[in-house]
A = this chain, B = another copy of it.
Amino acid sequence: MAPGRVTTGRLLSAFTQIRHYSAPAERSIPAAKQKYVPTSGTYPKGFLAGSAHAGVKASNTKYDDIALVVSETPCPAAAVITRNVFKAAPIVESQKVLEKWNNQNIRGVIVNSGCANAVTGLKGAEDAVTMARTTDACFGESESSGGPASLVMSTGVIGQRLPIDRIEAAIPKAHASLGSTHEHWMRAAQAICTTDTFPKLLSRTFTLPSHPETEYSIAGMTKGAGMIHPNMDAAIAPEAMHAFLRMGVNKSFNSISIDGDTSTNDTVALFANGVAAPSGFEPIKFPGSPTRPESTSPDAAALITVMNDFLTDLAKLVVRDGEGATKFITIRVVSDVSIVVARRVAMSISTSTLLKTAIYGKDANWGRILCAIGYAPGIMENPGQDFRTGKLVQAKGGKIIHVPHKRPPVDINRLSLAFLPADGSEELKLFTRGEPENVDEARAKEILEMEDLEISVKLNDDGGAGESSSEQHELFEAVVWTCDLSHEYVTINGDYRT
């Protein structure tokens, strides 16, 4: 994943998608993406959204680039942040706020697009604080007053200072624009965009088993792959916020890949103000055993499902709008060894530039899938297979030596590959238990013409024998979503800062 990247539209005429700074207005959303932009929504009670124009990038004289989303009642919040060592200044600041307030008493989040405020040194750290404090001041709060505090997020170019004066001037305007309608949320979702071709905003309602008559709402927005903040009006215990969010992020935002980069700014922040909860409702706690949520509170189990589904749908929108993306690729890997193996293999496939360019070119070059499996970190360190004897071998000191392991993580003679067409028609087998299939190229072409493609990888395919056998192994499935690598990706990222 990568932080926001911007282009001005100075593109080669050969390419059909044009990206503007920042989120394009309705007029310029590509026709194929219109279906992902909602025209109405059901937003969580007690939350307000606003936006304003600061001109973070000097070339942006027109579009809002400041967004503010707040809860009228200060509320519990949590954030999951990038693992990049160089965490941007706004992330460090937000984490300090969450730590200081113990995941409670948070007002909302102030966001700017156009500049990531990352690796900007001590001055950059001060700028992040200024953004948060300026927002607090709009609510008549200050650090010394002990009032609720704001989180801060930034996205855009790395290594440049924020034009903090322009941002300070714009924040009160964003505050003045706060409102609760669909249009308010949509304008905020547009303001956080950079190279996005459409604003990414989702909302939905849900109920919890303990009070089926109570309707809750969850809404969230995301840009590129960088900043995500779901907001809900259910009541969650502050100490449980992080666990609910963490669980949801692993299966959603940590399961997508655009270009293999891990940004300095990626943040998912969750807010839950409890405004819709019935009076006397006890805030939901995280189940004792995360792997067996069904064993505990039905509300917690239901909330986990709601969170997972919602974050997954938001994450998929990011892939739909990957820079230059023309394809939406689902990679489904099944292992009988472990989820770690399945995930490593899926992630390695999803970051192979060779495979991603082939899919862009509608070329069924499935050998590249096998190649990417074979060099997956953690897999590559394990022994390979001798094609003639079926024995496990390892290169050591210039010689192939036999290895006595019984069950390798990847076994070429039990590995199977197939394309699953998006229209639900029959799968196309590519490689079955160690032997290449005689692939019908016309059929492959047909499948690759569709926007969506699913790649199925079975690392230990026993051809169904296991089902009737007593040696049945548990199966682990990892699903990762990615997009192709196109000429436009190169255009956008070769010309980002202008």
Contact = CB atoms under 8 A, between A and B. Distances in A.
Interface of A: 2-3, 5, 12, 14, 78-81, 83-87, 89, 92, 95-96, 98-99, 103, 116, 118-122, 124-125, 157-161, 241-242, 245-246, 259-264, 351-354, 357-358, 360-363, 365-368, 370-375, 377, 379-380, 382-388, 393, 395, 397-400, 410, 412, 430-431, 434-436, 485-487, 489-498
Given A374-B84, A384-B87, A400 B99 contact: yes
Contacts of A103: 398
Contacts of A241: 398
A339 to B, nearest CB: 19
B259 A353 contact: yes
The residue in A118, A119, A261 that gathers the most chain B C-beta atoms within 10 A of its C-beta is: A119
Contact of A264 (B374, B410, B493): B374
A259 B362 CA distance: 20
Contacts of A12: 14, 487
Contacts of A259: 353-354
Nearest to A409: B85
B367 A261 contact: no
Given A387-B122, A395-B83, A116 B382 contact: no
Given A98-B399, A263-B371, A121 B497 contact: no
Contacts of A161: 436
B119 A412 contact: yes
A92 B125 contact: no
A493 B83 CA distance: 31
B385 A85 contact: yes
A368 B262 CA distance: 10
Contact of A486 (B121, B372, B382, B490): B490
Contact of A398 (B98, B120, B260, B395): B98
A398 B358 contact: no
Contacts of A119: 367, 370, 412, 431, 436
A160 B79 CA distance: 48
B353 A260 contact: yes
Contact of A494 (B118, B360, B497): B360
B387 A121 contact: yes
B95 A493 contact: no
Nearest to A265: B371
Nearest to A395: B81
A87 B5 CA distance: 38
Contacts of A157: 365, 367
A97 to B, nearest CB: 10
A493 B358 contact: yes
A352 B262 CA distance: 10
A435 B122 CA distance: 8
Contact of A388 (B122, B262, B400): B122
A58 to B, nearest CB: 13
B242 A436 contact: no
Nearest to A263: B371
Nearest to A353: B259
Given A98-B398, A157-B367, A264-B367, 10 more contacts: A14-B14, A81-B395, A86-B371, A116-B367, A124-B387, A158-B368, A262-B374, A262-B375, A263-B371, A365-B497
A358 B323 CA distance: 14
A87 B493 contact: no
Given A261-B375, A367-B119, A398 B242 contact: yes
A386 B99 CA distance: 14
Contacts of A494: 357-358, 360-363
25 contacts: A12-B487, A83-B395, A85-B380, A85-B384, A86-B374, A86-B385, A87-B384, A87-B395, A95-B399, A122-B388, A159-B430, A161-B436, A241-B398, A246-B398, A260-B260, A261-B353, A264-B367, A353-B485, A353-B493, A358-B496, A360-B490, A360-B494, A361-B495, A363-B494, A365-B496
A417 B498 CA distance: 22
In the A-B complex, the 8 residue pairs with the smallest Cβ-Cβ separation, listed nearest first, are A361-B494, A158-B367, A159-B367, A262-B375, A242-B398, A357-B493, A86-B374, A84-B374
